[in-house]
Amino acid sequence: MLVRRRKGYSIILKQLNGVSGVTRQKISFAHELGHLLIQKYSVSQQFDDSTKHRLSRNRQDDEEQLCEQLATEILMPRLAFEEDGWMEGWSINNLKALARKYGASIPATSRRMIDLMPETGVMASWKPPLKSAAERPKLLSSYCPSSRYQPRNSVSRLKSWLITRASGVQQVQTGFAPLVDRNSGLVTPKDVPAEAWAWGHGEFNKVMVWYYPDRELSSDQRSLSMDLTRKAV
């Protein structure tokens, strides 16, 4: 939280341990700095409360959302990040390296890359099934800058083959995955080229998937997609 003092302000952070805890603290610190920037440079926004703090995801107002954007800009400045993106390559292969360089989380770095990369991209974080092969992966979060595309919350076991394949290894897997195009008005998603990469271990294992809706499927991918679609139906 951000607390007004007699002279200036104090930022109070929750005590967290480990690399992920430090990363979370950095994001929270930058978020609270965003409140101060809004106060300093906005003629219509003033502090009426004695404290400001991060709201839960389902209670974010306009200022909180703006602070999230400011925190991203503070931790991953556009010009520097774009230069690194071009040097490293706009690929999920370089996601881990850029996250380490900027001290940011995998999801936050992924969103920044999707925002700044030269082609249309969509990202989603999936929780692969841990026990039964018959279970389906669970969609944890997704992001598209234009809100045009979105993964479906639930896909058939056959259509989630890329997520399943990526969850067992620590290397980037290429293939295709279903994605919904809101502009087309189709309920059934179409398969688009995709990359998938797993991070975390055990119960914390997750799979990051990047979708590329403007790319064309290869002839082999198209044939396999049609075959999986028939089996899923």
| Mean pLDDT in order along the chain per 10 residues (233 residues) | 78 72 75 81 53 49 80 89 93 91 88 93 89 78 89 84 86 92 78 91 85 91 82 67
Residue type, 112: R
Query: Which pLDDT score is estimated for 58?
Result: 45
What letter does residue 214 receive in the DSSP assignment? T
Per-domain residue ranges of the chain: 2-75, 77-115, 119-232
Architecture (CATH level 2) of domain 119-232: 2-Layer Sandwich (3.30)
E runs forming strands in 137-205: 138-143, 149-150, 173-181, 190-199
Query: Which pLDDT score is estimated for 134?
Result: 66
Query: Which pLDDT score is estimated for 53?
Result: 52
pLDDT digits (tens, 9 = 90+) for 177-229: 999 998 876 667 889 999 999 987 777 789 999 999 999 998 888 888 888 77
Query: Which pLDDT score is estimated for 223?
Result: 86
Query: Which pLDDT score is estimated for 120?
Result: 93
Contact assessment for residue 183 and residue 150, using Cβ atoms and an 8 Å cutoff: no
